Structure 1
Amino acid sequence: MPRLDFQLDRDHVELNQLLKLTGLCDSGGAGKALVAEGRVLVDGAVELRKTCKIRAGQRVQLDDVEIRVA
């Protein structure tokens, strides 16, 4: 499984924006669609809140790509 490391420069980042910032989708709107489809896991559980706050230490997975937030 490919892994991306994302360095957080603030308290949190919204889930749809994280997907955009890591290049897994083209826009925040596309990120929202991926979340709505149930394709995104946060810490191993399906996350349906498009603007869920992701903080350092959490893991996000889309298909076979894992993002580790530091």
Structure 2
Amino acid sequence: MAAHDVPIGDDTIRLGQFLKLSSLLDSGADAKSAIADGLVTVNGEVELRRGRQLHPGDTVTFGDESARVSRG
């Protein structure tokens, strides 16, 4: 499964925001629930912090879809 690149405007983005931006999830509420339930991984590790700072090169996976943070 190949991750699609999602450009961000700053140097970092919070995990909850990135899940919406990348269209892996539709809303902030969905992101909060998925993260709390341990369904989201960052670089292959389960991440339970919605405010986790992501940097270009980080890969976020939810279900069978992945998105990689890239510079905008």
Give the Cα–Cα distance (whole angstroms) in 2 for the partners of residues 54 and 13 of structure 1. 5
Number of aligned positions between the proteins = 70
After TM superposition, the score normalised by the length of structure 1 is 0.89
What are structure 1's unaligned runs of at least 5 residues?
none
CA contact (8 A) 1:2 1:64 kept: no
The CA deviation at 1:3 is: 2.6
C-alpha distance in structure 2 between counterparts of 1:5 and 1:55, whole Å: 12
**CA-to-partner distance for each residue in 1:16-44, whole Å, 9 max, x for gaps?**
11111111222112111110010001011
Aligned to 2:18: 18
Superposed CA deviations along residues 41-68 of structure 1, whole A, max 9, x for unmatched, are 1011000001111110111111111111
**TM-score, length basis structure 2:** 0.87
- Map of 1:6 onto structure 2: 6
Query: Conserved in 2, the CA contact under 8 Å of 1:40 and 1:62?
Result: yes
Secondary structure, counterpart of 2:9 in structure 1? coil
List gaps (5 residues or longer) in structure 2. Answer: none
% identity of equivalent residues: 39
Instruction: Give the root-mean-square deviation of aligned CA atoms.
Output: 1.2
**Dislocated runs of 4+, deviation >6 Å:** none
Give the partner amino acid of 1:22.
S
